Structures are given as C-alpha cells and as structure tokens.
Structure 1
Amino acid sequence: MPFSDPRVFAPFILVALIWGSTWLVIKDQISDVPPSWSIAYRFMLACVAMLVLLAVRGEKLRVSRAGIPVVILIGLSQFVLNFHFVYRAELALTSGIVALFFALIMIPNSIFAWFVLRERVSWGFVAGSAVAIVGVSLLLVHEYRAAGVREGVTLGVVLAALATMSASVANITQATDRAHAQPFLPMLALAMIVGTAINVVIALVLDGPPVWDPRPTYLMGIAYLGIVGSVVTFPLYFTLIRHMGAGRAAYVGVATPILAMLLSTMFEGFGWTIITVCGAALAFVGLIIALKARR
C-alpha cells in the first residue's frame, strides 16, 4: 500500500508525533517510583482502555488456539522486555538518544524478516545501516563525555539495544501469517493483558509492594502513556506493519526521534556540538538510505 494512501499516511504521522513525545514522559516516570511499577501502572490502565475499545467495537476477547503462542510472544517481547529495558536505559541516557537508538529497529526488523519471512535484504540497506550506526556511535561518544561515568552509559547502551531487539521480535511476530489469521484487536488486547500480568509479578518480586508518586504530572504521565501512547498508537502501528511490512513501517523510527531530540534539547539540556550534529545527520541519512534501498 503506498504511503500517500490516507490509511497509511494518517496513522504514520499520528504515531510518530505521539511516540516522539512519550520518550520525555517516560523520563519523568522514573523518578521516585521504581520503573517496574511505572510500567505495570501504565499497562494496567492500557488494558482497561483496550477492553473498553473492544466493547465499543463489539469484538470478543478471543483468539484461536493457534494464536495463543503469538499472544504470549508479543506480550512478553513488546509489553514486558521492551519496556523494562527502555525505562532502565533512560536512567543512563537522555530520552532523545534512546529514541534515536531505537530507530535502529529497522536493522533487526529486516534481519528477522529475512530469516523468518524470507524478505530480501539489499546491499543498499546494509550500507545505509552502517552509516546510521556510525551516526549513533558519534552521539554515544557525546553521551560518554557528558555523563562522566562511563559504566552508566555503557549499561544504558546495552539496555537500549536489548529493548530494540525485543520490540523487533514483536514486530516480526505481528507480521507472520499466524498472527494475520487472528482478529487483530483481541490479539493485541490479550497480549497486553499477558504482558501486564507478568509486569505486576516482576514489580512485586523486584520492588515489593506498590509505590506511588503523588505528583499530578506523574498521574497525567501514566494516563498519557497508558491510553494515548499505548492504546491509540499500538493498534495504529501494528496496522502499519500489516499494510506496509515490518521494514517500511520502521520509517516511524526515523520520524519519531526528530521530535524526541527537540524535546530533549528543550527539557533535558541535550547539548548540540559538532559531534552531535554530525552524528544526528549521519543517523537520519543512513536510516533513510537503508529504508529506501530495502523497498
């Protein structure tokens, strides 16, 4: 389906704008509340909103027996591992850098798509990916220098990489024939419920009883991430994957960090130097080259 089609263009812009802002909101969520509980709260609210959405649409919360492994895999990879790694990566890295790093998801997306879905990977894609990696590496050099504690940034990079891989597994799972055979929203809602149950158990084991932040901004952040950043965007994004393919849908990853880095500059004091400007430029150019070559 062409990008000019409103069924592709409108969801693409909306997802990019919303996800571009969620990175900064996540940063505020990891203050006095352990990341595990912030993630659990976010998806508890998101599950309620998803059930309301299903009721409004008159759809049943049900998938076939063949869809159960898909639900479990998406729930674990997208709604558990991905977010636990992302929230903890932002403890060490600025939100804009994590967002830009996450844009590299098109690399594992395309590798997994080649391995699982037998989609072709071109040399142009490989070259563009290499350029993007060089750009992100320059930005990480800046992070190392600005942080002062090398170990913290290194851990942030590892966690961001693991988050990207986890989300990529969910992306490719969503693009398989077995996933396509399931009713879309019920499958996504069940995956979110599975992920939320696991997140609550993780929070109890790692951090004990629930911890809450009384700040109004924390509550608004939970609401924004749970409803707008999850229930609105995930159905739209997974629909893009179905219409465009996992590789082309990753264009969202190019658009999202632009807003994220602007917000990081405004609210986190991200410093623009020759290294960061060159790094950001190389990253965006490389991503565009790679995605265009793969089409």
Structure 2
Amino acid sequence: MPAWLAFSTIVLIWGSTWLAITTQIVDVPAAWSVTYRYIIAASVLWIICIAKREQLKVTPGQHVFLVALGLFQFSINYLFVYEAEKYIASGLVAVAFAMMVVTNPILARIVYKQKFTRSLLIGAAMGVAGIGLLFSSQITDFDWHNQGVKGLALCFAGLLAASTGNLFPASQTLRKISIYTMNAWAMAYGAAATAIYAIFMVGPPVLSHEASYLGGLVYLAIPGSVIAFHLYYQTIRAWGVSKAAYSSVLIPVVALALSTLFEGYKWGIPEIAGAALAIAGTVVAVASRGKK
C-alpha cells in the first residue's frame, strides 16, 4: 500500500477507536481490557503469519527489541491511556497525544541523529495549536484539582511510552523482519507483560459480557491493532518516525467528525479553525521532502 494511503487509513481507523475505548472503561480493569485486546490481536497475527508462511524465527537480538516494543507500545502506553480516560475527557487525551509531533522528532534526533527540518517545526507548531483550538473548551474547563492532574500525568506518561515504542520499528534490527512477524511477537509480549501486571496488581481476570464491551474489544483488537499498527509501521519505515507522528494530529479531527454523526457534537468557530489548522500543519510537514 502506498505510504499516503496507509497514513490516511491509520487516521480513519484510530480516529474511530477513541470512541471504542470508552466502551472498555466499564467494570473491567484497564489492565485486563488491554490484555484481552492484544491476546486477540496477537492470535490473529500468528494465524496470518502461518497462513502467509512468514518467517517467525528471529534472532536473540531481535527478541530484545521485540520485547521492548511490546512493553512500550502495546502494554505501558495503553495502560496509561485507558487509566487516563477515567479521570479526564478523551479530548484532553487527544491533545496530549498530539504532542507526539514534538516527542517523536526529539527522540529520533537523540537516537537516530535525524535533523529537525523547518517544515517539521512549522507543521508541529500548527498541528499542536490546531488541536488546542479544537479542544479549547475542554482545556478551559480542565480542573487542576481532584483527579485532573493525575489524568494528565498518565496521558503524558503514555505519550512518552508510545514515542519510545515508535523508535523500534525504525531500527535496522527490526527492519530485517516483516511487519507481520514483528507485530505478532511484539503484541504477544505486550499481552503477556500486561497480564502479569494485571494478575499481581489488579487481581483475577474480569470480563464483561455486555455486547458494547465485546464489540468494542474486537474492533480495537483487529482494525485498531492488527490493521492500523501494520500500516503505521509501514508508514514509519517509508516516511520516518517524525512524519508518521502527524497521524496523532489528524486522529482527533476524525474522532470529532464521527462524534458529530453519532453523538450530535456541535462545531463552533474555534473547533472549525482548529481542525483547519491541524490539517494544514500536517500537509506542511508530510509534504516536505526526505525521511525525517
């Protein structure tokens, strides 16, 4: 799939998963919901790998990177995000994750010596400002007391975990294996790590039999994980860590568009201006030359 089409598909899928995640915050602890999500996703990927006769054998060094990818991207990241949404509005979580256009280039600069380009800097400023406008009402109403600060801290911890996880698929170590194999192993490791955490810190497994929970779980596991992460890592390999991060700027725009259709969300002038600015910032950054 061409990188631009992969990028667009990621935005559409993950734009809808923000709504699906709300179905998971019920009577089931976040750790178990994340565990179930990635058990399903890893199982599907292993079946795909066997059907496609993908090479599943990897070196010990690659296993180290796969464990790290699984921990940061498919365990720690989601544990923090699910917990954060218990304390603050999903819009504020989206604002925090839009900062990935800042954290990804910084980490890529430190680890891979990638340079900052003017287009990326301008695009990042426009994107973050746009998302800020898009959720200006939630930012204004943010309560710095009670659990608000805790939710915000969880958001940024999840952001740093996700940005760290984004570095591994771009490494020369993991570029030598297929994305199917990489994700099959990494998601399995992530599910195992989260299950161990859940057993010791949360308690025995809990599962809701509500149709909304189960439907949301399957949607998050297959389109939201199996398909979207495959395309996301394809984009990282084609465009680089920094440009791929701009999906986090467009995802909230799609999420609110879907909210308009299904939840009656009303757009005001700040929201319209914010969406336009976020889209423009993404175009500026992604259209620049080079893999950054």
- TM-score (normalizing by structure 2): 0.87
Aligned match for 1:152, one of 147, 152, 168: 147
Aligned match for 1:219, one of 210, 214, 222: 214
Aligned match for 1:82, one of 77, 81, 85: 77
The 3-state SS of whatever aligns with 1:191 is helix
Q: 1:245 Cα shift?
A: 1.1
- Between the aligned partners of 1:126 and 1:216, the Cα distance in structure 2 is 44
Aligned match for 2:243, one of 245, 248, 262: 248
- Between the aligned partners of 1:271 and 1:128, the Cα distance in structure 2 is 26
What is the correspondence of 1:72-221 to structure 2 with a 5 Å cutoff?
72-137=67-132, 142-143=137-138, 145-146=140-141, 150-221=145-216
- Between the aligned partners of 1:234 and 1:275, the Cα distance in structure 2 is 31
- RMSD after superposition: 2.6
- Between the aligned partners of 1:233 and 1:281, the Cα distance in structure 2 is 24
1:108-158 superposed Cα distances (whole Å, 9 cap, x missing partner) = 111111111111113554454345444555566632554657443322222
The 3-state SS of whatever aligns with 1:209 is coil
- Between the aligned partners of 1:36 and 1:85, the Cα distance in structure 2 is 9
Q: Is the 8 A contact 1:64 1:182 kept in 2?
A: no
- Between the aligned partners of 1:133 and 1:255, the Cα distance in structure 2 is 10
- Between the aligned partners of 1:100 and 1:284, the Cα distance in structure 2 is 14
Q: 1:170 Cα shift?
A: 1.3
Q: 1:198 Cα shift?
A: 0.7
- Between the aligned partners of 2:103 and 2:142, the Cα distance in structure 1 is 28
- Between the aligned partners of 2:182 and 2:265, the Cα distance in structure 1 is 39
- Between the aligned partners of 1:35 and 1:269, the Cα distance in structure 2 is 27
- Between the aligned partners of 1:74 and 1:138, the Cα distance in structure 2 is 33
Q: Is the 8 A contact 1:125 1:294 kept in 2?
A: no
What is the correspondence of 1:223-242 to structure 2 with a 5 Å cutoff?
223-242=218-237
- Between the aligned partners of 1:7 and 1:290, the Cα distance in structure 2 is 18
What is the correspondence of 1:39-50 to structure 2 with a 5 Å cutoff?
39-50=34-45
1:34 aligns with 2:29: yes
1:86-123 superposed Cα distances (whole Å, 9 cap, x missing partner) = 11122233334423432321211111111111111135
Structure 2 equivalent of residue 3 of structure 1 = none
The 3-state SS of whatever aligns with 1:212 is coil
1:206-238 superposed Cα distances (whole Å, 9 cap, x missing partner) = 221111212111111111111111111111110
- Structure 1 pair 249–117 and aligned structure 2 pair: CA distance change class (3 A): same
Amino acid at match of 2:59: S
267-276 vs 83-92, greater mean Cα deviation: 267-276
Q: Is the 8 A contact 2:76 2:158 kept in 1?
A: yes
- Between the aligned partners of 1:289 and 1:21, the Cα distance in structure 2 is 24
Structure 2 equivalent of residue 59 of structure 1 = 54
- Between the aligned partners of 2:22 and 2:108, the Cα distance in structure 1 is 31
Q: Is the 8 A contact 1:101 1:136 kept in 2?
A: no
- Between the aligned partners of 2:123 and 2:65, the Cα distance in structure 1 is 31
Amino acid at match of 2:53: G
- Between the aligned partners of 1:183 and 1:94, the Cα distance in structure 2 is 37
85-94 vs 272-281, greater mean Cα deviation: 272-281
Q: Is the 8 A contact 1:122 1:294 kept in 2?
A: no
Structure 1 equivalent of residue 2 of structure 2 = 7
- Structure 1 pair 268–161 and aligned structure 2 pair: CA distance change class (3 A): farther
8-17 vs 70-79, greater mean Cα deviation: 8-17
- TM-score (normalizing by structure 1): 0.86
Structure 1 equivalent of residue 19 of structure 2 = 24
Q: Is the 8 A contact 1:129 1:286 kept in 2?
A: yes
- Between the aligned partners of 1:235 and 1:20, the Cα distance in structure 2 is 16
Q: 1:259 Cα shift?
A: 1.1
The 3-state SS of whatever aligns with 1:163 is helix
